[in-house]
Each structure stands twice: as structure tokens, then as C-alpha cells.
Amino acid sequence: MLKAFSGGNFSRDFTASIVVFLVAMPLCMGIAVASGVPPEKGLITGIIGGIIVGLLAGSPLQVSGPAAGLAVIVFEIVQEQGLSALGPILILAGAIQVVAGLLRLGGWFRAISPAVVHGMLAGIGMLIVVGQFHVLFDDKPLSSGLANLIAMPGQIFGLSNQDAATAFAIGLVTIAGMLGWEKIRPASLKLLPGALVGVVLATLVAFALDLPVARVVVPESIVAAVSLPDQGLLASLMSPTVITTAIAIAFIASAETLLSAAAVDRMHDGVRTNYNRELSAQGVGNLLCGFAGALPMTGVIVRSSANVQAGAKTRLSTILHGIWILGFVALLPWLLREIPMAALAGILVVTGIRLISIDHARHLLHRYGPLPVVVWAATLIMVVATDLLTGVLVGIGLSVLELLPHARRLRLGMEDGSNGDAHEVALRGSATFLTLPKLSAKLESLPVGRLVILNVERLSHIDHTCAEMLREWVDRRRGAGAQVELFGATGRLRHLVA
């Protein structure tokens, strides 16, 4: 922490923390609404993610808080088991993450196929869009994505209802303000987030015209929003349903967090992520969220990228953003109560659409052929048609198909040593997601100041998961000014030779 106060770090972190706070506030509340819980539950998670996880994190510039990626599964929990079930589930999920970090399992979550992860995010994005579409009309989402999708035409035909039409107009004002600002904002205000502009604009319109739309409900005191577990906590922790759901949340939250951390590492040249420490820190955060009755948390790429782009240098920025959320909620709850629910829905509709990355599917097809795209599409469809965990498991199962032709030769050999002024690493055998943690650890341990020669002449096979990891490593290495040469690259690795 002393580093945060040295040189110009403090001023940079202070400025960045305000930017992240402005990005996080509407998202924390909006994701809570999408999860079927009161907005203050998301704010509590944002506070814990900033102050506590920020202090412990293995990825100093990553920002943690409620994530759109878990909104769907939380909504299902609340609908089927009630809000009181969320606390025990998060306590158990957090404990699983802490133990996984202590057992040094962080690297294994990076071995999940990018096709599965992006398919999962696309499916979540679609569910958020069809669910929040109903909130745009001051209505409540239905219990499943398919039911929400089927009911969408009815909402449009019901616009003759004046109150619904008014709420829809406020939602459109939010979306127009958000997208319009992102297109026309001057360079001097490039860090002012579009989501905040959209919410402020819609709130001012609703307030000035005294419109009859549903508004955010926030308790007088943030302490009143904390709901501690009841006396039946121990019995709840033994429930098979709670255990199964906790494992699912721990798995998905960990994967999303560590993939986000890897993305954050590509944005800056500072301290690299300690994946195991980050995993344990997230576990502590989710434990506390469970005891507080709040939403689950992950590392979130939108807030993290805003943090890096705003010039953050240390973890102080993340910690301060949590303090700003706490101060705002404690001192100005009346201001939050003026925000229309349809405005938050408008933000989430845009957020959901942006999670559906068709460009990533095109990238997979262009670089690695049709199988990863099939995995992506199957994961997306199953997430929408069934549930999040089923979709992820189907995607992982399909990604195993890529191993079948190479089932008898799945071992990866690595030899490294000096070659003149360079450091050479020779790979032989098959590089698959099964060996990704081992390969990633080796690459990250290579000396920074020397030319690295990666000899892949005897590499008989590389799957798209390892190929993507290797591409990101080469790009990051070259982006930092280091030299990397590939020898013998063909097929999926040919595009890395430059």
C-alpha cells in the first residue's frame, strides 16, 4: 500500500477511483434489479468488492463487484428458493473459492475454452436483454428466458397503457443518452461514462415532468440493507440444493474473474496477476456478501478497463471507489430514490447486447475452424434454453471433442535454455487445455529483458484454447517492447509469426 502514496501514484489513483465510482454506481443497482433483488444489495457488493477485495486482490487494478454474468443464476435462485437462500449459497461458494486459491487451482480456470466463456456471456447477454425489456415497461421479468422472449410482443402491443408507454419512453431516453454521449463526447470528457449520463438525463426528465414511473427503492440506512443469516444457517449449508448451486456460482464466478484478470493484464505493463491470491480474495468477498445478504461478486471487465484507462497505478484506486460508493449511499440515499427503474433497465439492455459478441464467433471461425464456433453456439443456446450451469457443462463437454483425435498423445514436453543472447523454449507433443496451466506458468516465468525463441517445430497439435493463450502472451510480450520469435510455426500458430 505504501507504493500507492509514492510519486504521482496517489493523484492518478484518486482520479481513477472517481471514474470507476461513476461507472460502478448505476451498474451495481442495475445488476441487482436484473437479479431480482433490491438495488441496495448490489451496492453492498460493490462496497465489499472495492474496500475488502481491493485490499486483498492478486490483480491490483481489477475492480470487483456484482456482475451481469451472475444475474441470471441469482434471479433463478431468488425465484425458486427465495432471497434468504442466497446468503448460505454465497457463504459456501466463497469458502470453495478461498480453498481453491489456497490449493493453487487458479491457473486451471484459465484453461476453460474461450468459446465456452464467450458463449456463456452471449447467452447471459441475451437473457438480460429479454428480461430487462419488460422492466422498460415498469413490468416484472418472468421466471425464464424463453417465457420473457415469448412475452415481448405483448409488451409492445400494450403501449396503449399510458404508464407503460411513459416508462418505456424514459428507458429510451436513457439508451439514447448513453449511446449518444459515447459517440459525441469530447476528448476532455472521455472518461465520463455513458451509463451515468443516460441515468442522470432520464432522472432529470422524470423529476422535471413529475412522471408516474416506478423508481428505485433504497432504505434510509445502508445498515438496514444488511440481512444477516438466520439460525438455520448450518442446516442450510448441508442442503444438497445449496451445495450444488454454490459449486456452480463458485465455478462461474472464478472463471469470469480470472479471465477478466487476464484481460486486465493485457491492458497495462504493471504488476501481473497472482491468480491464486485473486481467487482467494474473491472467496473472502463472496463470504462477506453471503453474511451480508448481498449479491455475489466477480472481477468485472467494464469497471476494470475504466480503472486502467483512467490511469490507475495501484490497488488504492479500487479501494477508494468502494469508499465513494459507501459515502454516497450513506449520505445521499434520497438522490438514489429519484432514479427511474426503466433507466436502469435501459442500461442493462445495452450491457446485455454488448455481451453478445458475434465478432468473437467470427474470430474463432477464421482462426480455428468450425468446431469452436459450434461450441460457442451450443453454449449460448443451452444457457438460454436451460440454465447457466447446464450451458457451461455442455460447452466444456463439446470442447473435449477436440481432444479425441489426439487422445493417445496428449502429453506436452518443454525444454528451455540459453541460445546465445536469447532464451529458447522448445515444445513437443500436444498443447491442449489440459496442459494450459503448465504451459502458461512456464511462459510467464521467462526473463523479461531477453529475446525469447519459441520453438514449436515438434508441436504436433495445439487446440484453440492454448492457441488463444499463446497469442495473448505474444501480443502482451511484444506490446511491452520485448522480442519474441516463433520457429517452425504452422497452422494455428502461423499468424503469430510477425
Domain of 444: which CATH number?
3.30.750.24
Co-location of 304 and 428 in the same domain: no
Q: Which of 336, 370, 397 lies at the terminal end of a domain, its last residue?
A: 336
Whole-prediction pTM value?
0.80
Max CA distance (Å), the chain: 77
The one-letter code for the residue type at 63 is: V
Co-location of 254 and 115 in the same domain: yes
Spatial neighbors of 7 by CB under 8 A, at least 6 apart, are: none
Q: Per-residue pLDDT tens for 29-38?
A: 889 988 989 9
Q: Distance between CA 231 and CA 433 in Å, rounded? A: 43
Co-location of 284 and 192 in the same domain: yes
Co-location of 238 and 151 in the same domain: yes
SS3 (DSSP) at 422: strand
DSSP letters along 25-47, please?
Answer: HHHHHHHHHHTTS-HHHHHHHHH
What pLDDT is recorded for position 143? Answer: 72
Q: Is residue 344 part of a domain?
A: no
Co-location of 20 and 138 in the same domain: yes
- Whether residue 6 is predicted with pLDDT greater than 60 in this model: the reply is no
Co-location of 331 and 449 in the same domain: no
What pLDDT is recorded for position 137? Answer: 92
Q: Per-residue pLDDT tens for 85-108?
A: 899 999 999 999 999 999 998 878
Burial of residue 81 (CB within 10 Å: 0-12, 13-18, 19+) is middle
Co-location of 186 and 280 in the same domain: yes
Q: Is residue 279 part of a domain?
A: yes
Q: Is residue 326 part of a domain?
A: yes
Q: Per-residue pLDDT tens for 145-173?
A: 778 888 888 888 877 788 899 999 999 99
- Whether residue 2 is predicted with pLDDT greater than 70 in this model: the reply is no
What pLDDT is recorded for position 496? Answer: 65
What pLDDT is recorded for position 410? Answer: 82
Strands 298-300 and 451-462: unpaired
What is the phi/psi pair of residue 270, to 5°? -85, -150
Q: Which of 336, 358, 388 lies at the terminal end of a domain, its last residue?
A: 336
What is the phi/psi pair of residue 431, to 5°? -105, 105
Co-location of 328 and 427 in the same domain: no
Co-location of 422 and 299 in the same domain: no
The count of structural domains within the chain is: 2
Give CA separation, 9 vs 5, 61, 161, 186, in Å. Answer: 6, 13, 54, 26
Co-location of 326 and 430 in the same domain: no
Q: Which of 336, 371, 392 lies at the terminal end of a domain, its last residue?
A: 336
Q: Is residue 30 part of a domain?
A: yes
- Whether residue 243 is predicted with pLDDT greater than 70 in this model: the reply is yes
Co-location of 322 and 446 in the same domain: no
Co-location of 94 and 209 in the same domain: yes
Q: How many residues does the chain have?
A: 498
Q: Distance between CA 490 and CA 218 in Å, rounded? A: 58
- Whether residue 408 is predicted with pLDDT greater than 90 in this model: the reply is no
Q: Is residue 469 part of a domain?
A: yes
User: Are the CB atoms for 114 and 436 separated by under 8 Å?
Assistant: no
Taking residues 383-397, report their average pLDDT. Answer: 85
Quote the domain boundaries for residue 149.
2-336
